[in-house]
C-alpha cells in the first residue's frame, strides 16, 4: 500500500521530503540534534498578517506568552503584534528585553504572588485582576512601592464559550471576578485610587467553531455595555480574549480568520456609542504560533512486540505533553506526523512511543508510515504552541529539547 502524504501543514513538501525555512527538515535534525522544536519565522509573520487583514483595523493584537515563551520568537513577535499578555513574573522577565517602547504588557492569571505583583508594578504593566482580594494586594504592594498600579478587571462571564477545548469562563472559576461583582470590584478600584485599565474576558481556548466564538463575543460586548452603563465609567481597554484554535487532528477544519473578523466588525459598529475612546484587544497564543512549529524526534529503536511494530523515539511527552494526549484531552488522538525524508512510499502501521518508562508516553498509535528504523527523523506538526513550555521536562531527567527559530 502506498500512501500520499497529506497532513494539514503549510510546510513545504518537495522531493518526497519535508522542508522548514528553506532547508530539509532532516538537515535541521542533523545540525541541531534531536529532539528539537523548529519554528518558522515567516510562517508566524504571514499568520499575523492574514489575521490582521481579517480583523477590524482598530483591534489590537496581543500575544499570549504562555503559548510559547521562546526568546527569539518573542523578539520576532515584538515586531508583529501590539502587545503581550503574561501569566507570571517569569514570563514578564522573558518579554521585557524584547518589547518595543510603549508596547503594552498585561498580567493575567490566578494566584499572582506578592513578589510577582511587585515585579509587575515596577515594570509599569497593567494587571488583569482575578479577584477582589488580589485588587487589595495590588494596592497594598503599590503603596509600599510608592506607585499607583494600573488594574483591569478580568471578569468571569455569566456565559460559556461553547465548543472550546478548554473552558475558562462561566460557573465558579479561579479565573476572573464573577460578572455580577464587576460593579463592586470597579468601586473598589476607584476607592483605592488605582488606575482603572478596563476589562478583560477570556472565556476559553482552542475553539474551531466560528459561530460559538461570535456568540461569546456578542455576550462579551453586552457585558461591557452593561458595566459602562451601570457605572458611568468608560473603558480605557476592552480585552476580548480570543480562544481561536488550530486543527490538531484529522477531521478538524481550520478556523478562517474572516469568520471571526466579520462578526466582530459588526459588533464594534453596533456598540460604537460606548467604545469611542476604548482600545479593543484580542489576546491570542496558539493561533499565531501553533502551526509554525515542528517537533523533530529521531527513531532510536524498532521492535516487534506480539505482532505490533513499535518505534521508540528520543522525544516524547516530557517535551510534548499534548502530543501524548495528556494535556486535557479526553480521548487521545494522533497529531499529524510524517517521516521527514520519506513523506510517501509503501506504508506499514506502527505504534510510536517516547523514551519514558510509562505507557502514557505515546507519540502515535496505529500510524501509517513508510518503513522507519533507527536514525530516521519523525516530524510532529502543529507543535509551535504549548510544546516545550507545557510539558514535564524534568520527568526522567532527559535533556531539554533544542529550540530554534529559522
Ligand atoms: C488569559 C489567557 N489569555 C490567553 C490565552 C491563550 O490561549 P490560546 O493559546 O489558546 O490562544 C490563555 C490560555 O489559556 C489564557 O488563559
What is the pLDDT at residue 163? 76
Percent of the chain at pLDDT exceeding 70: 98
Residue 228 within any structural domain of the chain: yes
- Return the best residue to mutate from 205, 220, 328 for the ligand 1 pocket (most ligand atoms within 8 A of CB): 205
Q: Is 91 in the pocket of ligand 1 (CB under 6 A)?
A: no
Q: Region 208-214: what's the mean pLDDT? A: 96
**Is pLDDT at 356 greater than 90 in this prediction?**
yes
**Is pLDDT at 357 greater than 50 in this prediction?**
yes
What is the pLDDT at residue 1? 54
Place of cell 505504534: 351
Residue 120 within any structural domain of the chain: yes
What is the pLDDT at residue 8? 65
Specify the residue with its C-alpha closest to ligand 1, atom 9: 285
Residue 116 within any structural domain of the chain: yes
Given the CA of residue 165, which atom of ligand 1 is nearest to it? 10
Given the CA of residue 108, which atom of ligand 1 is nearest to it? 1
Q: What is the domain-level CATH number for residue 336?
A: 2.40.37.10
* 14-61 residue pLDDT tens: 999 999 999 999 999 999 999 999 999 999 999 999 999 999 999 999
Q: Region 275-287: what's the mean pLDDT? A: 97
What is the pLDDT at residue 4? 45
Q: Which residues of 172-189 are buried (b: 16+ CB within 10 A; e: fewer)?
A: ebebbbbbebbeebbebb
Q: For the chain, how many structural domains are there in total?
A: 2
Contacts of 269 (CB under 8 A, 6+ apart): none
What torsion do the CA atoms of 349, 40, 19, 367 make, to the nearest 10 degrees?
A: 0
**Same domain assignment for residues 124 and 234:** yes
Q: What is the 3-state secondary structure (H, E, C) of 74-87?
A: HHHHHCCCCEEEEC
**Same domain assignment for residues 276 and 308:** no
Residue 57 within any structural domain of the chain: no
Specify the residue with its C-alpha closest to ligand 1, atom 6: 285
- Return the best residue to mutate from 81, 283, 389, 390 for the ligand 1 pocket (most ligand atoms within 8 A of CB): 283
* 48-85 residue pLDDT tens: 999 999 999 999 999 999 999 999 999 999 999 999 99
Task: Among 284, 316, 335, identify where a domain stops.
Answer: 284
* 241-273 residue pLDDT tens: 999 999 999 889 999 999 999 999 999 999 999
Alpha-carbon distance of 60 to 264, in angstroms, equals: 13
**Is pLDDT at 3 greater than 60 in this prediction?**
no
CA-based R_g, the chain, Å: 23
Domain region containing 373: 2-39+291-405
**Same domain assignment for residues 356 and 228:** no
- Name the grid cell of 374: 533507527
Alpha-carbon distance of 18 to 12, in angstroms, equals: 6
**Same domain assignment for residues 197 and 214:** yes
Specify the residue with its C-alpha closest to ligand 1, atom 2: 202
Q: What is the domain-level CATH number for residue 269?
A: 3.20.20.10
Given the CA of residue 128, which atom of ligand 1 is nearest to it? 1
- Higher pLDDT: 169 or 313? It is 313
**Same domain assignment for residues 307 and 259:** no
**Same domain assignment for residues 280 and 303:** no
Alpha-carbon distance of 4 to 282, in angstroms, equals: 38
Whole-structure pTM over 0.85, yes or no? yes
Q: Region 143-166: what's the mean pLDDT? A: 90
Q: What is the 3-state secondary structure (H, E, C) of 313-353?
A: ECCCCCCCCCCCCCCCCCCCCCCCEEECCCCCEEEEEEEEE
Alpha-carbon distance of 52 to 46, in angstroms, equals: 10
**Average pLDDT for the chain:** 95
Q: Would you place residue 350 in the very low, low, confident or very high pLDDT band (cuts 50, 70, 90)?
A: very high
**Is pLDDT at 279 greater than 50 in this prediction?**
yes
* 159-201 residue pLDDT tens: 877 877 777 777 888 999 999 999 999 999 999 999 999 999 9
Alpha-carbon distance of 222 to 271, in angstroms, equals: 9
**Same domain assignment for residues 242 and 147:** yes
Amino acid at each position: 500500500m502506498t500512501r500520499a502524504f497529506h497532513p494539514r501543514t503549510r510546510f513545504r513538501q518537495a522531493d518526497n521530503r519535508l522542508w522548514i525555512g528553506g532547508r530539509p527538515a532532516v538537515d535541521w535534525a542533523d545540525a541541531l540534534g534531536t529532539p528539537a522544536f523548529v519554528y518558522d519565522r515567516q510562517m508566524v509573520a504571514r499568520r499575523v498578517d492574514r489575521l490582521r487583514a481579517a480583523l477590524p483595523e482598530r483591534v489590537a493584537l496581543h500575544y499570549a506568552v504562555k503559548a510559547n515563551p521562546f526568546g527569539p520568537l518573542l523578539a520576532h513577535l515584538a515586531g508583529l503584534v501590539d502587545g503581550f499578555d503574561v501569566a507570571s513574573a517569569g514570563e514578564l522577565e522573558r518579554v521585557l528585553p524584547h518589547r518595543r517602547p510603549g508596547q503594552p504588557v498585561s498580567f493575567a492569571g490566578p494566584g499572582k504572588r506578592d513578589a510577582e505583583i511587585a515585579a509587575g508594578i515596577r515594570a509599569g504593566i497593567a494587571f488583569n485582576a482575578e479577584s477582589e482580594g488580589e485588587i487589595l494586594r495590588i494596592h497594598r504592594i503599590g503603596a509600599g512601592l510608592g506607585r499607583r498600579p494600573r488594574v483591569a478587571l478580568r471578569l468571569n462571564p455569566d456565559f460559556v464559550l461553547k465548543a472550546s477545548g478548554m473552558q475558562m469562563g462561566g460557573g465558579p472559576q479561579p479565573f476572573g471576578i464573577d460578572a455580577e461583582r464587576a460593579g463592586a470590584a470597579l468601586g473598589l478600584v476607584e476607592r483605592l485610587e488605582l488606575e482603572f485599565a478596563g476589562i478583560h474576558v477570556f472565556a476559553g481556548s482552542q475553539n474551531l467553531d466560528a459561530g460559538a466564538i461570535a456568540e461569546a463575543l456578542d455576550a462579551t460586548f453586552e457585558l461591557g455595555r452593561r458595566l459602562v452603563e451601570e457605572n458611568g465609567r468608560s473603558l480605557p481597554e476592552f480585552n476580548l480574549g480570543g480562544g481561536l484554535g488550530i486543527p490538531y487532528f484529522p477531521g478538524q477544519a481550520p478556523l478562517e480568520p474572516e469568520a471571526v473578523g466579520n462578526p466582530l466588525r459588526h459588533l464594534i459598529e453596533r456598540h460604537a456609542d460606548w467604545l469611542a475612546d476604548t482600545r479593543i484587544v484580542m489576546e491570542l497564543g496558539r493561533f499565531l504560533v501553533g502551526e509554525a512549529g515542528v517537533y523533530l524526534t529521531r527513531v532510536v529503536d524498532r521492535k516487534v512486540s506480539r505482532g505490533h511494530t513499535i518505534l521508540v523515539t528520543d522525544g516524547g511527552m516530557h517535551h510534548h505533553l499534548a502530543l501524548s494526549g495528556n494535556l486535557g484531552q479526553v480521548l487521545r488522538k494522533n497529531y499529524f506526523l510524517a517521516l521527514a525524508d520519506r513523506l510517501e512510499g509503501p506504508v506499514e502501521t506502527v505504534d510510536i512511543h517516547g523514551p519514558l518508562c510509562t505507557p502514557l508516553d505515546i507519540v502515535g498509535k496505529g500510524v501509517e508510515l513508510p518503513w522507519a528504523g533507527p536514525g530516521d527523523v519523525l516530524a510532529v506538526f502543529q507543535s509551535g504552541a504549548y510544546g516545550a513550555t507545557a510539558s514535564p521536562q524534568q520527568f526522567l531527567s532527559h535533556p531539554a529539547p533544542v529550540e530554534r527559530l529559522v
